[in-house]
């Protein structure tokens, strides 16, 4: 399969720079008039698929909101993934996995091997056992045309205590992760397969993302306080690689499919303007 970085570049050029979360959390289900149960999650996902499949570049289901319903929740997640991918929408599964040895290899096999039912285009991963511990994920992604988005600078208030801590060479933990990602992406065109997750609300932290060489997933927009203007100020050297991610700001417009499409379109227009994106279809 074509490398993930190339596939992501193509869908972003076609549909614009937008990732929409698929997060059936309890309060949103109630807001939609649905039960916080398997039937409610199934109805929620059917509506989001109808509204957005084939219309946005990337969707990002958060696995925890499905896992809380056990095997039946996993079935809904598998079906939702399949429907989006069949429509040509890339699926980034938000699992934030991170481990060592055979365990991380099993995670890679579960999500990045096309022979498995939960196969997706890319996953999120936690590097805080050392970026090298994720090597099986990177290898599997390279072998199957997948991608891995590694947590680097997150928006949560607890993040800086770890991510801004300094190594013996003076670099922060986050900068070390960013630099190691850049080495993995060296020479890749138009983008590497390994991306970084950087929150929209981190502000000016002094970290250098200019040599990353891969996509930057930017959550924290909309309901979490980030704005499209933040994209330009934080990612000035990487505007073409930024993939803004909205969840509640778009999903809160449901359950009307047209209202969901309109909300996604508004988010996309605002982000595209901030990033100077051209070529949206």
User: Catalytic positions, please?
Assistant: 96
Closest C-alpha among 189, 164, 187 to residue 177: 164
Distance, in Å, from the CA atom of 234 to the CA atom of 188, rounded to the nearest integer, reads: 23
Which of 227, 176, 223, 177 minimizes the C-alpha distance to 202? 227
Question: Are 198 and 177 within 8 A, CB to CB?
Answer: no
Calculate the alpha carbon distances from 156 to 87, 148, 225 in Å. Answer: 33, 21, 12
The gap between the terminal CA atoms of the chain, to the nearest Å, is 24
Residue 137 CA to residue 81 CA, distance in Å, equals 19
| Spatial distance between the Cα atoms of 12 and 217, rounded to a whole number of angstroms | 12
Q: CA-to-CA distance for 191 and 22, rounded, in angstroms? A: 25
| Cα–Cα distance for residue pair 265/268, rounded to 1 Å | 5
Query: Nearest CA to 221 among 80, 21, 42, 86?
Result: 21
């Amino acid at each position: 399969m074509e490398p993930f970085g190339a596939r992501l570049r193509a869908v972003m050029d076609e549909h614009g720079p937008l990732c929409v979360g698929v997060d059936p959390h309890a309060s949103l289900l109630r807001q939609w008039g649905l039960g916080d149960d398997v039937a409610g999650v199934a109805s929620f996902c059917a509506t989001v698929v109808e509204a957005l499949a084939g219309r946005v570049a990337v969707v990002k289901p958060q696995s925890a909101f499905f896992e809380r319903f056990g095997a039946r929740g996993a079935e809904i997640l598998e079906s939702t993934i399949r429907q989006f991918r069949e429509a040509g929408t890339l699926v980034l599964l938000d699992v934030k996995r991170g481990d060592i040895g055979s365990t991380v290899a099993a995670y890679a096999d579960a999500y990045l091997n096309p022979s498995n039912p939960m196969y997706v285009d890319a996953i999120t991963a936690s590097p805080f056992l050392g970026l090298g511990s994720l090597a099986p994920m990177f290898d599997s992604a390279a072998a199957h045309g997948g991608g891995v988005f590694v947590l680097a600078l997150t928006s949560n208030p607890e993040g800086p205590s770890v991510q801004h801590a300094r190594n013996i060479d003076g670099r922060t933990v986050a900068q070390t992760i960013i630099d190691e990602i850049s080495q993995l992406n060296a020479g890749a065109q138009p983008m590497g397969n390994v991306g970084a997750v950087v929150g929209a609300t981190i502000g000016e932290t002094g970290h250098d993302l200019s040599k990353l060489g891969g996509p930057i997933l930017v959550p924290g927009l909309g309901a979490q306080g980030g704005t499209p203007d933040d994209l330009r100020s934080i990612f000035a050297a990487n505007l073409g690689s930024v993939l803004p991610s909205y969840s509640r700001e778009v999903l809160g417009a449901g359950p009307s499919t047209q209202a969901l499409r309109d909300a996604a379109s508004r988010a996309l227009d605002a982000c595209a303007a901030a990033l100077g994106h051209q070529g949206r279809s």
